[in-house]
Amino acid sequence: MAPYFAMSRMLALPSHSEGSPNVVLEAMAAGLPIAATIVGGVPEILEHGKTGLLTPSGDPEAMAAALRELLTQAELGNRLGESARAESNRNYTLESYTRKLVGFYKDTLQASGGK
């Protein structure tokens, strides 16, 4: 997907229902600004105004307004994209997943009295 993200100016995810969408994580890693609806796991990944713009599901006017902001306010798009990339690097890489998993196992072993 990297070549396609490199050609993109932003990601729009106007979903009515989602789990935890990989496309959002991929766009974050690519440093793209994101406009997405507040469904499923999306608000657990994106923070409105910090790593993306979130809009209510089923509100096309709100989604259009968010996309218009990203298209017309380059500084906002750049800031959101860079913040999303940093968040992705901190929390959604294989290395960060491994650190969290090892930490979980260590905490679990300690809580159960194991070494």
Residue extents of the structural domains in the chain? 2-111
Whole-number pLDDT of residue 114 = 66
Whole-number pLDDT of residue 115 = 60
Query: Does residue 73 carry a pLDDT above 90?
Result: yes
Mean pLDDT (whole number) for 49-73: 98
Whole-number pLDDT of residue 78 = 97
The string of pLDDT tens digits covering residues 80-99 is 999 999 999 999 999 988 99
28 class by beta-carbon count within 10 Å (0-12 exposed, 13-18 middle, 19+ buried): buried
Whole-number pLDDT of residue 86 = 97
Q: Of how many residues is the chain composed? A: 115
Mean pLDDT (whole number) for 91-109: 91
42 class by beta-carbon count within 10 Å (0-12 exposed, 13-18 middle, 19+ buried): buried
Residue 40 — φ and ψ, nearest 5°?
A: 50, -130
> Mean pLDDT over all residues of the chain?
94
Residue 92 — φ and ψ, nearest 5°?
A: -130, 25
Architecture of domain 2-111: 3-Layer(aba) Sandwich (3.40)
Query: Does residue 57 carry a pLDDT above 70?
Result: yes
Residue 46, Ramachandran bin (φ over 0: left; ψ between -120 and 50: alpha; else beta): beta
